[in-house]
């Protein structure tokens, strides 16, 4: 029975990514890139500048806090285990396709986050909320599709991503002598579930504050370890780049087994890691207090770069340059631990385990922040009752527990499928609504040319202010 279930998951996973999602991601990202004149590259320095801007009130969410919430979800166990899995199963060329997806995906992240800002809603206390479900409903007047997206988001972040994150964390303990495949995963699953359960009772604001502290520390700590390993193995760097580019452009090999190729693994794990175009980050972006929607669109491109071009690349370079053997058997955390152990010895796996714990924790609490937004949408724009939320959170905690005991194939397949469904809805909607974001970008650029701090006025881009909730 389980084998048949896995077979069905694998089939759905394969068909969804090839050719459906490859076409949607590539065409969508390229379309947004050319229409914005590669805003994700042109305005890189500008995105760093607006990141430092303060919100209008102390109770509002800053651009930096919104970035950290989205980065907390993007930057997770996928940066370690996902990259390792892609390199071991797909080949070193997967790294190159991750880069491609990140660069063109930066434009997709800009569009979806800008739209989320334009169509966001206002809370009674003046703060804001929103996301794809809200701009699909308001701008496209399609409540059913918006509801379907909200359901897909909940399925992805409350179940798919939580399960694979929990599995990834427990897999980092495989190399320890005390590890028992029948017992240890369940113990680790229980521990992380309990800690996350305690945290989520604090609500969204505590998540934002925790993420703004943990995420930078977590990223710097892991990056430092990776750079040391790369530096020690600097003589292998030329060969590393040779392996990456030769494998990436070995189209004969790709065509011979495309489902398991570096191209598909690079796209799968890149999308899982940076989430550009998936429709998750806009939920955090909408909460930011900014004077112009484009500012948060620019900030969210940084999250894609932080995730893939820095952290995922660090993992890939560390592993490939180390020269340790990459096989299916070590796919995931063991491959990374072996690479670190080549420099740090027996303490190496401990470094990775600590990083995995931090990555997993921030990912899990960030995931549940997103689902709160979707639940509110489905409940007529207000949070469900305390009783419902308590039951829902218990189910989420149990999902984390169960995920630790799944097989690698099942955990990743469920995450890929649910994430894919979100992307299939979100990117076409962003293409349809893209004209609004393009006009907002031109308005921003015109105000910058006049040396103004851009302030958004809906009527300047042809929108009726009375039909917007926040930008009156």
* 185-217 pLDDT, tens digit each: 999 999 988 888 877 766 545 555 665 566 677
Q: What are the φ and ψ backbone dihedral angles of 291, each rounded to 5 degrees? A: -85, -20
Q: What is the pTM of this model?
A: 0.87
> Domains in the chain and their CATH numbers?
13-458 (1.20.1740.10)
Strand partners, 128: 122
**Which among 242, 207, 211, 270 is positioned nearest to 416, based on CA atoms?**
270
* 383-403 pLDDT, tens digit each: 888 889 889 988 988 999 999
Model pLDDT, residue 231? 94
Alpha carbon dihedral 439, 28, 100, 295, in 10-degree steps, equals 30
Rounded Cα distance, 445 and 462, in Å: 16
Rounded Cα distance, 213 and 362, in Å: 10
Q: Are strands 128-129 and 121-122 parallel, antiparallel or unpaired?
A: antiparallel
Contacts of 64 (CB under 8 A, 6+ apart): 51, 52, 212
Model pLDDT, residue 211? 57
Q: What are the φ and ψ backbone dihedral angles of 31, each rounded to 5 degrees? A: -60, -50
The alpha carbon dihedral of 359, 364, 365, 368 has a sign of: positive
**Which among 186, 131, 136 is positioned nearest to 154, based on CA atoms?**
131
Contacts of 86 (CB under 8 A, 6+ apart): 94, 95, 98, 262, 265, 266, 268, 269, 270
Is the CB of residue 60 less than 8 Å from the CB of residue 462? no
Show pLDDT as tens, one digit a residue, over the chain (472 residues).
Answer: 666 777 777 777 777 776 777 788 888 999 999 999 999 999 999 999 988 888 776 667 777 877 776 766 666 777 788 888 888 888 888 899 889 888 998 999 999 999 999 999 888 877 888 899 999 999 999 999 999 999 999 999 888 888 988 988 888 888 788 999 899 999 999 998 888 887 776 654 555 566 556 667 777 888 899 999 999 999 999 999 999 999 888 776 565 555 556 777 777 777 766 778 888 889 888 888 889 999 999 998 988 888 888 888 999 999 999 989 888 888 878 899 999 999 998 888 888 888 888 778 777 877 777 788 889 889 887 888 888 988 998 898 899 999 998 887 888 888 888 888 999 999 999 999 999 999 999 999 999 999 888 999 999 999 988 888 888 7
Rounded Cα distance, 462 and 472, in Å: 14
Model pLDDT, residue 207? 55
Rounded Cα distance, 51 and 209, in Å: 16
């Amino acid at each position: 029975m389980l084998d048949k279930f896995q077979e069905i998951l694998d089939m759905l996973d394969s068909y969804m990514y090839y050719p459906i999602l490859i076409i949607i991601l590539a065409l969508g990202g390229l379309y947004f890139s050319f229409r914005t004149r590669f805003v994700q590259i042109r305005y890189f320095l500008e995105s760093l500048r607006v990141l430092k801007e303060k919100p209008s009130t102390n109770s509002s969410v800053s651009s930096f806090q919104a970035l950290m919430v989205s980065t907390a979800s993007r930057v997770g166990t996928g940066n370690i285990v996902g990259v390792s899995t892609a390199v071991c199963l797909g080949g070193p060329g997967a790294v190159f396709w991750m880069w491609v997806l990140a660069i063109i995906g930066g434009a997709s992240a800009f569009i979806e986050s800008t739209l989320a800002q334009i169509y966001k809603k206002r809370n009674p206390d003046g703060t804001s909320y929103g996301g794809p479900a809200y701009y699909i409903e308001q701008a496209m007047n399609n409540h059913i599709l918006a509801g379907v997206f909200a359901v897909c988001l909940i399925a992805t972040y409350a179940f798919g991503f939580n399960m694979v994150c929990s599995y990834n964390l427990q897999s980092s303990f495989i190399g320890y002598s005390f590890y028992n495949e029948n017992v240890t995963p369940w113990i680790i699953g229980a521990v992380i579930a309990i800690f996350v359960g305690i945290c989520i009772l604090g609500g969204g604001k505590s998540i934002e504050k925790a993420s703004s502290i943990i995420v930078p520390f977590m990223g710097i700590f892991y990056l430092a370890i990776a750079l040391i390993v790369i530096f020690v193995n600097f003589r292998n760097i030329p060969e590393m780049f040779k392996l990456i580019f030769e494998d990436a452009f070995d189209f004969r090999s790709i065509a011979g087994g495309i489902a398991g190729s570096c191209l598909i693994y690079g796209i799968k794990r890149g999308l899982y890691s940076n989430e550009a175009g998936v429709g998750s980050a806009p939920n955090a972006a909408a909460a930011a207090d900014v004077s112009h929607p484009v500012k948060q669109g620019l900030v969210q491109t940084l999250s894609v770069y932080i995730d893939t071009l820095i952290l995922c690349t660090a993992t890939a370079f560390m592993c490939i340059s180390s020269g340790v053997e990459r096989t299916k058997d070590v796919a995931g955390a063991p491959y990374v631990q072996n690479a670190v152990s080549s420099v740090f010895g027996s303490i190496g796996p401990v470094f990775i385990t600590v990083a995995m714990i931090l990555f997993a924790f921030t990912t899990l609490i960030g995931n549940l922040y997103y689902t709160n937004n979707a639940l509110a949408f489905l409940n007529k724009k207000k949070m469900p009752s305390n009783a419902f939320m308590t039951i829902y959170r218990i189910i989420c905690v149990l999902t984390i527990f169960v995920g630790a005991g799944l097989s690698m194939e099942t955990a990743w397949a469920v995450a890929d499928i649910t994430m894919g469904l979100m992307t299939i809805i979100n990117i076409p909607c962003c293409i349809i609504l893209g004209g609004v974001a393009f006009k907002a970008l031109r308005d921003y650029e015109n105000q910058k040319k006049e040396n103004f701090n851009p302030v958004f006025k809906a009527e300047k881009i042809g929108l009726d202010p009375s039909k917007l909730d926040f930008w009156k």
